[in-house]
Structure 1
Amino acid sequence: MENATLAGTLVLVQPDLENDTGRNKGQIGVLTYARSETENYVRFPEGGEAYYPAPQVLMLKDKKQVFDDLTNNGSSMPLDDFKAMYKIMLLQDRGTSQALYAALALANDHPGVQERVLESISPAQKQELSKAYSR
């Protein structure tokens, strides 16, 4: 059960998803089960659950990555994107579920920072990472 490391992660369904059978694009939910690259279950606060391929389920990048990107590239960003990214970094620093939810909502509202602060989940990658740490 190596994929348990992703269970409980707050995630965002890709906002520009074209074929969304669950009609949850741009919605924030909790990853309940990361089964494979093609089947990852997300439960939504307003009820319901849907499954998506890993590239369509986005999570926040590590706050250190966000900070480094902000430090190195902040001066060349539009001001609104810089502010949004800075707020996301501060919310990540809090680490509470409410703050992480707010950070995902902020990323959803600012398409210019999505590539900088979001990454798709990859159960295989996380699985390999957890194996490496357990040795």
Structure 2
Amino acid sequence: MKNETITGSLVLVNPKVSNDPAGKQGQVGVLTYARAVDENYVKFPNGAESVYGQKDLMMLKEKEEILQELNKNGLSMPLPDFKAMYKIMMRQDMGTPSDLFSALEIARDHPGIWNKALDTVNRTEKIELENALSR
């Protein structure tokens, strides 16, 4: 099962965002409202809110996908990246909001694993989920 982007999901603002008037690159927030591909509202712990395109927001891949990546390529990864992915997977296993928040921060601090542990926000899946639930 692929990550479903629903409001309330924790997201990471891509640290390489080029146009971020709120200056929240690399910060973790909560997706509060997803209206369009380029209109995703994120609220941050300090109460600030900003709007991003889905390509500018990242979320954790499912724990099973991270485990598969570790099993497949773990031996060839640099040790710090392997440890970071393992820590992320363990935080996901705990499942509390603070653990998931920490997992995103760990991922943020290890650019070498971004493509292995993070996905961009996918609004299409959110729409499909809403349609399925409204039936």
Fold conserved between structures, TM > 0.5: yes
Which position in structure 1 is the counterpart of 2:22? 22
Offset of 1:116 from its aligned partner?
0.7
In structure 1, list runs of 5 or more residues that go unmatched. none
Which position in structure 1 is the counterpart of 2:73? 73
Offset of 1:131 from its aligned partner?
4.3
* One-letter identity of the residue aligned with 1:41: Y
Q: Are the aligned partners of 1:36 and 1:124 in contact in 2 as well (CA < 8 Å)? A: no
CA distance in 2, matches of 1:130, 1:76: 40
TM-score, normalization: structure 2? 0.90
Q: How does 1:1-135 map to 2 (within 5 A)?
A: 6-129=6-129, 131=131
Give aligned pairs, total: 132
Are residues 108 and 5 of structure 1, via their aligned partners in 2, closer, same or farther at CA, if it must alter by over 3 Å? closer
TM-score, normalization: structure 1? 0.90
Are residues 74 and 21 of structure 1, via their aligned partners in 2, closer, same or farther at CA, if it must alter by over 3 Å? same
Offset of 1:47 from its aligned partner?
1.9
CA distance in 2, matches of 1:134, 1:113: 36
CA distance in 1, matches of 2:113, 2:129: 26
